[in-house]
Amino acid sequence: MKNRRSVLEILVTLPSALWLAIFFLVPTVVVMAIAFKPTNPYGGVGTGWTVATWLSLGNPSYPAILWRTLWLSLLTTAASIVFAVPVGYYLARIRKRWRQFLLLLIIVPFWTSFLIRIFAWKVLLHPDGFIKKGLVFLHLAGDGASLLYNPWAVLLVMIYSYVPFAVLPIYAAAERFDFQLIEAARDLGAKQWQSFLKVFLPGIRRGLLTAVLMVFIPALGSYLIPDLVGGPDSEMIGNKIAQRVFVDRNLPHASALSSLLTLAVLLPMTVVLFLPGRRGRPDLMAGEGK
C-alpha cells in the first residue's frame, strides 16, 4: 500500500514538475548564464565568458532607472495597501451574498485583458479626454499640461492594475479574522481607531505581508504600463529589458538586467514561500482569481 501510494504521488506530480522545470527553471538559469556571455555582431550570443556586460550596468542611466523602478513599485504597494485594507475589512463584514457579488465585481476587471485596461486609461487621460478637459475647466491644469506620458500616469495605472492583488489576500485574512476581538478591545476601553490599529491590523498581518509582496513583485517587473502611458522619463527596468531585446538586439545585456530583476524578485518571493499560512501555504487564493 505504501509503495503504491508513492508511485501515485510521483505519477501526479511528474507532469507539472517536469514541465515547469523545463519551461520555467531552465530558462531562468539560461538567462543568468547568458548574462555572462559576450555579444556577437549578428545580435546573437558569442562564445566564451565575460563580465563586461555587468560592468556596463554602471552606466549612469541605469541607477536612475533602477531607482525609479524601486520608488514607483514602493509607492504602488503603499497606495494599494492603504486602499485595500478598508475594502478588505468591508468585504469581510458584509452579508455573504452581497459580499460574493462585490468580490466578483472586484475580480472581473482583472480577468479582462491587461492591454485593454491600460488602453482605457490612455483614452481617459488623453489630452482630449474629459478628465483633462475638466481639470483645465477648473483651472487645475494648464492647457499644455499632459496627464499622459509621465511617471504619475504610470503610478496611477500601476495602482489600478495591482490593487486587486492586495485586496484578495487582505480580504482572505480579514474574513478569517475574529471580529469579536474588536468588540473585546472596545469592551476593554479601546476607541474605534485603537481597536483597528492594535487588534485588526496585527490580526491580518499575514494577509498584509502577502499583499505587499503580491503587489511589489509584479510591480518591479512592470513593462507594459510604462510602455503605453509613460514617457521617456518614466521608463522602468522592464522597458530597458525589452529595448535590449527588440531594439538593440543585445541579449547578454537584456539577460544581465533580467538577472538583476530576478534577484530583486527572488528575495521577497522566498519570504512569501516560507511564510507559513494555513496548511503551511501563503494566504493567497481566497478569491481564486488572478
Partner 1 sequence: MANGEFLEFEDVSKYFGRIRAVDGVSLSVRKGEFFSLLGPSGCGKTTLLRILAGFERPDTGRVLLNGRDITALPPHERKVNTIFQSYALFPHLTVRENIAFGLRIEKRPKKEIAEEVERMLVLIQMEDQAEKYPDKISGGQKQRVAIARALIKKPQVLLLDEPLAALDLKLRQRMLMELDLIHDEVGITFLYVTHDQGEAMSLSDRIAVMNGGIIEQVGTPGEIYEAPRSSFVAAFIGDTNFFEGRVAEVVGGEYSRLVIDGFPEVLCFNDKHISVGNPVYLSIRPEKFHISREKPETGNRHNVVQARVEDVIYQGLMTRYWVRSGEYRISVARQHSRFLLDETPIRWDEDVWISWHADDGYMLERYSESDEKLVSLPPENIGEVNGEGNGAA
Partner 2 sequence: MKRSRVPLVATVAMLVFFYLPIMVLVINSFNASRFGSTWEGWSLRWYLRLLHEREIWYALKNSLIIAFGASFVSVLIGTAAAFALHRYASRLQKTHYAMIFAPLVMPEILMGIGLLLFFVALGVNLGLFTIFLAHVTFCISYVAMVVLGRLQDFDFSIIEAAQDLGANWWTVTWRVLVPLLMPGIVAGGLLAFTLSIDDFVITFFVAGPGSTTLPIRIYSMIKHGSPPLINALSTILLVVTFTAVWFSQRLMEDAK
C-alpha to C-alpha distance for 24 and 18, rounded to whole angstroms? 10
188 binds partner 1 (CB under 8 A): yes
Q: Name every residue whose Cβ is closer than 8 Å to that of residue 125 and which is 6 or more positions away in sequence.
A: 131, 132, 147, 148, 153, 156, 229
Question: What's the closest the beta carbon of residue 241 comes to partner 1, in angstroms?
Answer: 41
Q: What are phi and psi of 103, to 5 degrees?
A: -60, -40
CB of 218 to partner 2, least distance (A): 5
Residue 276 in the binding site for partner 1 (CB under 8 A) = no
Query: Residue 249 interacts with partner 2 (CB under 8 A)?
Result: no
Q: How far apart (Å, rounded) are the C-alpha atoms in residues 86 and 94?
A: 12
Q: Which stretch binds partner 1 (CB under 8 A): 43-51, 73-81, 190-198, 226-234?
A: 190-198
Question: Closest Cα to residue 236, out of 33, 75, 87?
Answer: 75
Q: How far is CA 176 from CA 87, 101, 197, 286, in A?
A: 15, 19, 17, 10
Q: Interacting stretch for partner 1, rule CB under 8 A, among 157-165, 182-190, 211-219, 279-287? A: 182-190
Range 64-123, binding partner 2 (CB under 8 A): 83, 86-87, 89-91, 93, 100, 102, 104-109, 111-117, 119-123
- 287 counts as binding partner 1 under rule CB under 8 A: no
User: Nearer Cβ to partner 1, position 93 or 191?
Assistant: 191
Closest distance of CB 259 from partner 1, Å:
38
Backbone φ/ψ region at 192: left (φ over 0), alpha (ψ -120 to 50), beta: alpha
Which of 205, 281 has the CB closer to partner 1? Answer: 205
Closest separation in Å from C-beta 254 to partner 2 = 6
Chain Cα centroid distance, residue 56 = 28
Q: Does residue 278 bind partner 1 (CB under 8 A)?
A: no
Tell me which of partner 1, partner 2, none is bound by residue 141, counting a contact when its beta carbon lies within the kind-specific cut-off of 5 to 8 angstroms.
none
